[in-house]
Structure 1
Amino acid sequence: MKRSPGTKKITSQSFRFFCNFALPSVSSTTVVVSAASAGLPIPATTSQSVPVASASAQLPGVRFHFTQEQTAMADALEIPVALRRTGNALKLQEHYTRYLALLEAEKKFKKMQKDGTWPGGLRLPVGRDIPNLFIGKSTWHDFWTKTFPHVAEYPEMVKWLSDEEECMETEELFGVKLKAYHFAELLAWVQNGGSLVKPKKGAAKDASAATSSTSKKASTSKKPAGSAKKVATSKSGSSKRKYSLNLFGLLGALVLSYYLDGLAGNLSFLAYMIALTGLSSQLALLLWMTFLIPHVLASPQSAPFPDISFQDFSDFIINNFGEKISLPTVFMMLLSMTNNTELLSLNFKQNPGPKATSWIKCLARAIIEQLGDNDAETLFSEHELSMFKNATARESNVSSLAVKLGGFSHLLGLYPYNNKQKFTGTLKHISHSSIQPALLICPNSSVCLTAGCGRCFLKQNTQTRHIPRVTLIKGTEVFKNVQLLSGYCNNCETIYYADHERTASTVNTEAMQLYLNSALYIKICQKLWVDRKFSSSVMNGIYHLHASTSGWGNYFNDTYGNDCITLSRRQVWAAFMQESIRQASEISGVDFVTRDVSSIEEVTEEAFAALGNGGLIQPAKGHACAECSQPYRATSDVVLNPNNDPSTSAQNTVQMRNVTMRVIDGMVNGTKHCAADGCIGDLLNYRGGALCRVHEHEFGDRCRVRDCTETLVRPTKACAAHQSVWNKYLLDHSAASLAGSKRMLNRQQENPEWNPRSEREVQPHDQPAPEPKKLKHFFGPATFYCVETICCPCGVVEAWAKFAKSESESNILAFMKKVYPTKESRPDYICIDKACKVLKHMAAQGHWDEWSETTRLIVDTFHYEKHWKEDVLCRKWCNPAPTDGSAPNLVIKAIASDGSTYDKRAFNTQACEQLNAWLGGFESVLKRMTPQNYNWFIHTMLSYHTRKVIARQAKKAAKVMQEEEGDDTEDDEAE
């Protein structure tokens, strides 16, 4: 990218400083370092306050500026001004103080989010928003995340970083005396287990190896002299036998080579002679025989594209086809020839001459059918067309074109005979690699689209020598060394790429990326781009096959991959993310905008915050079909209700809206979160970790067993007294133990005599759930309890949410309030497996009067059979199919295929159960995801599923309408 005018040259020191402390965007709010605020200590400058590595590149007087949004976030989190990011060089102690402030800020944000006290007009911080208030991106990823979370397990280092008076001396703590201690030394100190001195390894092993080698040498030197003579004698005998075998092998090779055909015999004999010089006769003979095999099998699998001059090609087309033949027709005919070499071989083997056989007539007929009558006429001259009209033979045009195709095949060299008219074998497949197009990736727009720019032209943003070269996957084809071009607007400084636009930073805003929904190509890694057909196939494969990203990548690599391209799991996930973001943006009518420098993890979190809609599925908004919306019935079709008031018959003349139903249910399939009590924060480490960043620091080096205050024994997570508990945890979570658990789940009906099955007491559905048991330890992470969904009876998903601890009545009621905030938005019926419990909870909390005006809660048919028959409330108010006519809109009359009538439930109450059966196929994929990936994946799959169901319902409705129109037509004809 070109440097803007007036930009100063960056020195090596300033470049190192920039890498460690990234610049935020400029704002009118200046952050100035002042005295320490109360509550968080600022380390004093003492002899132990050692600068970090980047301190050598100090730039005095540097001050960075927050954007207005960053300043508002810092004020909302009450971050002291002295601890906010300034860009100045900091000492290790000052870095650690800011890290402690970061933990306090994250804890405060979680509390504010839970209590609903976050400022309404301020965006919720996601990804790296809060760390950006303290430090730059490079320092955060390269140093803070790799050192400070692990320092908590070393109390002496915590004291030193906190600059306490009782801390150890610097040299004693690090174990090595240095002039300065940088982040690199701190990282090495943590990785070595609390010291910069690396333990010596293999000293004893080296000594034993030296001893064994010395003994071997001694034993070798002690061999008797007679044994040496025997060895010499055996060597001379073997050389004589080798000479005789080589002689016989040579004669055999000469005889066989004599009978072999020409070049093959000469080359094989030459290989044999070369092998004799360095190999034994047996190996040389084997090499000679294997050399003969590739002579037959190593022929190329495809032939090159026909290499003829354009003049010859043009003359043949002009002399043999009509004057109005078009370029597409010529290309179609040419590719039809090069893609049907087997058929040409069959044709010419049957008749090498110009006469057309039935083989090539089939090809001619196929070309005519594909072109259509109008375009097919351009294959013939006016004279030929007039002859066809007067011809008595059938398909005279096909025979004429077949003869022309035979001549065309001769011109292209697609003829299986040599000059001596000897058949050379079936024609090989023709390779089309030589006619592949030269592709370039460039912006879609040719003018600047920024308001006020006047749609000015875009100039190329990169100099020729700096144009990046990338790999492009288009469908299943791989193109290497593709040029990546970008455009630049001189007026607004916006940079246009093929998949996004980058706006320039201003005084109050950062540089941002605007994702283009109309992009033809999208970037999935630094040097790899794909087209939308490829990214769509990723989504389709994951949806229909329940495939993981690694599984889909392995499928592509095994099917279409080669030595030049191998897809990784992260690249497939990036393709899924980029495609799903654009589809969600297009449906929502919102352009997705993110910071210019964002990792895929941050993009995922920001995408869910911007497009997730709080769990509401956008395609389901306003959906109505025949399965989830029924005409209102004032009286029952099944039974005449004696309780009906005759005066209500006048209400039938009033137009009532259709009756609707929604089904609510949950599926136990959640991701991991912090194991600390009451915390659902993200894990610090998803590969073996159990706590979030805040609780990992609070536990420090303390034993992870509940209520234990002893120091843990590294590398375990338990103290000396609880090592047995730790070992049992490792055993229970080992591969062998998990295999046994899997067997128990897969074979639940087994009841061996040596391990009889015990019947587990099932918690009654209508009874209050017991209090969840507290964890005995915090060795492993906790799991979100379930995913709760709201579905229409037709299968359309309306909303979803995660329940952290349980599927309680209060959580269900809060979910219902979130999805249906107004009376007008509420359905007439809500079907829940525990509707009677939710009804009791609503009555106890005083919410039933509000909901009873619009909605009735019922139990789904499957769980209703398991509810207590003595429960009068459930039987009277939550019955999904009452037969007494009290709910005329739940049970209707239907006509069977034989014309008889039968009672039928008006709505499908098992819609969520059916959805859970499909969603359960992703269980093995979901349980390994981070919460950010989990949220976006669930939301994307449910949205994609909803669009599929809506499309299926539309096809079904169109088919019904077509059948009804057909019946009406038949009735009219009968009249």
Structure 2
Amino acid sequence: MGSVVCHRRYHHNYYVHKESSLRTYYGGVPDVVQVAQHFFIESALLELFSNCMAFGWLSGTNCARIYNEALSSPHSNILNNKLAFSAIYHNSRHFTPEDWSVTRLIRKEDTMNGFFLYSLLLDKAEQGSVLILPHDEASQRDRLQPALAERNSAMEGTGQECYAHACDLCFHIFENENGQLMKIQAAACDGNTIGHRSCKVHNCKNPLPSLRHHFCPAHQHLRLKCAVVDCPSDHALGHRTCDDPDHRALETAYFRRGNAMFQLRARLKKAGVAVPNDSVPVRDASEDDDEVVFEMGPSGPIELDVDDCDGKPETGNRRLRAIFEGRWTHNEQLIMRPCGVILSRATLFGSEAVSAVNTFAKATFPTPESTPEFFIFDNNCKLDAHQRAINDKHFENTGKPVDVFHFRCKHKLTDLHCQRYCNPAAFPEMIGPDGKWRFNTSICEQTNVWFGGYIAMVRDMEVTRYNFFLDEMIKRRNRYVVSELRAKGYAPWTIPMKAIFPTAMRA
């Protein structure tokens, strides 16, 4: 429908002005969302998909499959079980016309585009604004990209809806020895090996042109180099390494391992054991290893665990690192309250370096008023040493204990810095009147069980969608956690933002 007076063409969810190439969506969230040019999905169904992703780790593919099998027909229970309903099966088929010009089935693309558009509409409605997208784009994926990137920027650091959360599990008031009331807030930090595809140059944060590329535009010239890290030579024709015999032996060993994995999978398939492609619990070495490490011994290359290869080999053998396929970011870092509410998330590209964790923590707690009394991190001894070495006093009033489990099991008694500054027993404020720990210092380990469930879903997502998706999952989970805290009597509340950012509020 169009108007010759206001020069606008009105569509189901939005209008386009004659002299503009923008889609301006109507205020609020519609009952039916146009997710593609000729495809509409009810908001109630998109809400179901969103919750399936948040609490069931269902991918877009599996959401579409469940809908197509169970909800797309009025009598799916009958149509899916022909033998059980043989008496009425043929009558039920008449409710599913076979001569429709459009399909009633949902594709993965419709599910994911619907999720992203619906989430954007919700976000704008919560802010009291409207969604504006480019109209003349080749695809819905491209059309959504600018708005997704804008929301991603707003989420960085302090942007999560529950950032100012407090409750009886994470915020304590006690009386000190002088009779003054003091507050204690704690935050915990940990990493999870979820990641997205990235440039093969270590710690490069430039986005890839597409998932098929291994290098960003600035490093495309390196695609001709040998796959062995730091080798300056070009790879030989038909190979991924140069003519160095050790490098070629490493390549042979790597792909022999890949072929062995393929053969094992083929045997499983022949034996009737399914290996689904929709949900991959770990990265397949034959397809997409990030980095491999081999030790060159007298009998040839021996593969080592990447995580155990920080130091020099004790045997005197030479170690070679290589990246034969694509590279993924190192991990996602989370900062959360001991009650389980996640405050922020950041992607660490090259490694879980304490300098990167320090930068992330400062972005999450940018003002003195926002810093917690205790920051719990399993590598706090090195983080604290790093801050002292660079004279960074941002967290000088924050205690940095290691969580109880890691301190007992993974920190040496001979580490004097750790024993002096990071021993949880050295902070009596963390122990309540009943002699128990005030805070759940292992909350990150527990939360990672949930967060790690997305590794298969996001491993090949484009980076903008990847960041938006994870932030949206955290937002939805936080709402559920807060509702559970309220139901269990832990009295959740929101700290006034002017108490956390007083300078910004005055400005």
Partner of 1:941: 473
**In 2, Cα distance between equivalents of 1:762 and 1:729:** 18
Show CA shifts across 1:230-284 (max 9, x none). Answer: xxxxxxxxxxxxxxxxxxxxxxxxxxxxxxxxxxxxxxxxxxxxxxxxxxxxxxx
Is residue 2:58 matched to residue 1:532? no
C-alpha displacement of 1:804: 0.3
C-alpha displacement of 1:787: 0.3
Is residue 2:498 matched to residue 1:498? no
Partner of 2:400: 857
Partner of 1:621: 163
Code of the residue aligned with 2:348 in structure 1: it is F
Code of the residue aligned with 1:691 in structure 2: it is F
Code of the residue aligned with 2:52 in structure 1: it is G
**In 2, Cα distance between equivalents of 1:571 and 1:935:** 19
Would the alpha carbon gap of residues 497 and 919 (structure 1) be closer, same or farther in structure 2, given more than 3 Å must change?
same
Would the alpha carbon gap of residues 718 and 838 (structure 1) be closer, same or farther in structure 2, given more than 3 Å must change?
closer
Is residue 2:172 matched to residue 1:630? yes
C-alpha contact 2:381 2:418 (8 A) present in aligned 1: yes
Partner of 1:583: 122
**In 2, Cα distance between equivalents of 1:718 and 1:888:** 57
C-alpha displacement of 1:702: 6.5
C-alpha contact 2:190 2:444 (8 A) present in aligned 1: yes
C-alpha contact 1:501 1:516 (8 A) present in aligned 2: no
1:807 corresponds to which of 352, 355, 360? 352
Partner of 1:890: 430
Q: Secondary structure at the match of 1:842?
A: helix
Partner of 1:707: 232
**In 2, Cα distance between equivalents of 1:814 and 1:701:** 34
**In 2, Cα distance between equivalents of 1:762 and 1:684:** 29
Structure 1, unaligned stretches of length 5 or more? 1-459, 462-487, 636-648, 747-756, 895-902, 961-975
C-alpha displacement of 1:801: 0.1
C-alpha contact 1:633 1:889 (8 A) present in aligned 2: no
Is residue 2:211 matched to residue 1:695? no
C-alpha displacement of 1:489: 7.1
**In 2, Cα distance between equivalents of 1:774 and 1:519:** 59
Code of the residue aligned with 1:553 in structure 2: it is A
Partner of 1:31: none
Would the alpha carbon gap of residues 718 and 871 (structure 1) be closer, same or farther in structure 2, given more than 3 Å must change?
closer
Code of the residue aligned with 1:859 in structure 2: it is V
C-alpha contact 2:9 2:15 (8 A) present in aligned 1: yes
**In 2, Cα distance between equivalents of 1:760 and 1:558:** 42
Is residue 2:268 matched to residue 1:736? no
Alignment of 1:268-279 (within 5 A): none
Would the alpha carbon gap of residues 959 and 679 (structure 1) be closer, same or farther in structure 2, given more than 3 Å must change?
closer
**In 2, Cα distance between equivalents of 1:520 and 1:775:** 57
Code of the residue aligned with 1:874 in structure 2: it is C
Aligned-pair identity in percent equals 21
Would the alpha carbon gap of residues 888 and 627 (structure 1) be closer, same or farther in structure 2, given more than 3 Å must change?
same
Is residue 2:293 matched to residue 1:779? no
**In 1, Cα distance between equivalents of 2:411 and 2:71:** 54
Show CA shifts across 1:595-646 (max 9, x none). Answer: 22344433554234322224344321321111110113314xxxxxxxxxxx
Code of the residue aligned with 2:432 in structure 1: it is I
Alignment of 1:739-778 (within 5 A): 739=265, 770=311
Partner of 2:333: 788
Code of the residue aligned with 2:389 in structure 1: it is A
Would the alpha carbon gap of residues 541 and 531 (structure 1) be closer, same or farther in structure 2, given more than 3 Å must change?
same
**In 1, Cα distance between equivalents of 2:455 and 2:326:** 17
Show CA shifts across 1:844-873 (max 9, x none). Answer: 11013x422x32111111111121123333
C-alpha contact 2:133 2:144 (8 A) present in aligned 1: no
Is residue 2:369 matched to residue 1:824? yes
**In 1, Cα distance between equivalents of 2:38 and 2:319:** 49
Partner of 1:611: 151
Would the alpha carbon gap of residues 692 and 512 (structure 1) be closer, same or farther in structure 2, given more than 3 Å must change?
same
1:602 corresponds to which of 126, 135, 142? 142
C-alpha contact 1:785 1:804 (8 A) present in aligned 2: yes
C-alpha contact 1:505 1:511 (8 A) present in aligned 2: no
Structure 2, unaligned stretches of length 5 or more? 74-97, 269-274, 276-280, 284-301, 313-317, 493-507
Partner of 1:544: 55
1:553 corresponds to which of 35, 50, 64? 64
C-alpha contact 2:354 2:386 (8 A) present in aligned 1: yes
C-alpha contact 1:535 1:575 (8 A) present in aligned 2: yes
**In 2, Cα distance between equivalents of 1:529 and 1:745:** 35
Q: Secondary structure at the match of 1:830?
A: strand
Aligned length, in residue pairs: 421
C-alpha displacement of 1:707: 2.5
Would the alpha carbon gap of residues 737 and 498 (structure 1) be closer, same or farther in structure 2, given more than 3 Å must change?
same
Q: Secondary structure at the match of 2:445?
A: helix
**In 1, Cα distance between equivalents of 2:305 and 2:253:** 23
Would the alpha carbon gap of residues 867 and 572 (structure 1) be closer, same or farther in structure 2, given more than 3 Å must change?
same
**In 1, Cα distance between equivalents of 2:324 and 2:170:** 47
**In 2, Cα distance between equivalents of 1:489 and 1:819:** 50
C-alpha displacement of 1:548: 0.9
Q: Secondary structure at the match of 2:262?
A: helix
Would the alpha carbon gap of residues 908 and 604 (structure 1) be closer, same or farther in structure 2, given more than 3 Å must change?
farther
**In 2, Cα distance between equivalents of 1:761 and 1:596:** 47
C-alpha displacement of 1:800: 0.5
Would the alpha carbon gap of residues 758 and 782 (structure 1) be closer, same or farther in structure 2, given more than 3 Å must change?
closer
C-alpha displacement of 1:686: 2.2
**In 1, Cα distance between equivalents of 2:402 and 2:55:** 31
**In 2, Cα distance between equivalents of 1:774 and 1:695:** 25
Partner of 2:80: none
Show CA shifts across 1:817-843 (max 9, x none). Answer: 111111111111111111111111111
**In 2, Cα distance between equivalents of 1:781 and 1:915:** 28
Code of the residue aligned with 1:824 in structure 2: it is E
Partner of 2:191: 666
Would the alpha carbon gap of residues 702 and 810 (structure 1) be closer, same or farther in structure 2, given more than 3 Å must change?
closer
Q: Secondary structure at the match of 1:533?
A: helix
C-alpha contact 1:604 1:936 (8 A) present in aligned 2: no
Is residue 2:16 matched to residue 1:511? no
Q: Secondary structure at the match of 1:619?
A: coil
Would the alpha carbon gap of residues 557 and 745 (structure 1) be closer, same or farther in structure 2, given more than 3 Å must change?
closer
C-alpha displacement of 1:675: 1.2
Q: Secondary structure at the match of 1:933?
A: helix
Q: Secondary structure at the match of 2:371?
A: coil
Alignment of 1:830-845 (within 5 A): 830-845=375-390
**In 1, Cα distance between equivalents of 2:388 and 2:491:** 45
**In 2, Cα distance between equivalents of 1:600 and 1:664:** 36
Q: Which has more helix, going by share of residues? A: 1
C-alpha contact 2:196 2:466 (8 A) present in aligned 1: yes
Is residue 2:483 matched to residue 1:951? yes
Alignment of 1:50-199 (within 5 A): none
**In 2, Cα distance between equivalents of 1:679 and 1:632:** 46
Show CA shifts across 1:770-803 (max 9, x none). Answer: 59x9985553111100100110111111000000
Would the alpha carbon gap of residues 568 and 633 (structure 1) be closer, same or farther in structure 2, given more than 3 Å must change?
same
Show CA shifts across 1:658-679 (max 9, x none). Answer: 3111111111111111213453
Code of the residue aligned with 2:66 in structure 1: it is Y
Would the alpha carbon gap of residues 614 and 682 (structure 1) be closer, same or farther in structure 2, given more than 3 Å must change?
same
C-alpha contact 1:532 1:579 (8 A) present in aligned 2: yes
C-alpha contact 2:149 2:464 (8 A) present in aligned 1: no
Q: Secondary structure at the match of 1:542?
A: helix
C-alpha contact 1:671 1:934 (8 A) present in aligned 2: yes
Alignment of 1:240-319 (within 5 A): none
**In 2, Cα distance between equivalents of 1:921 and 1:546:** 6
Q: Secondary structure at the match of 1:856?
A: coil
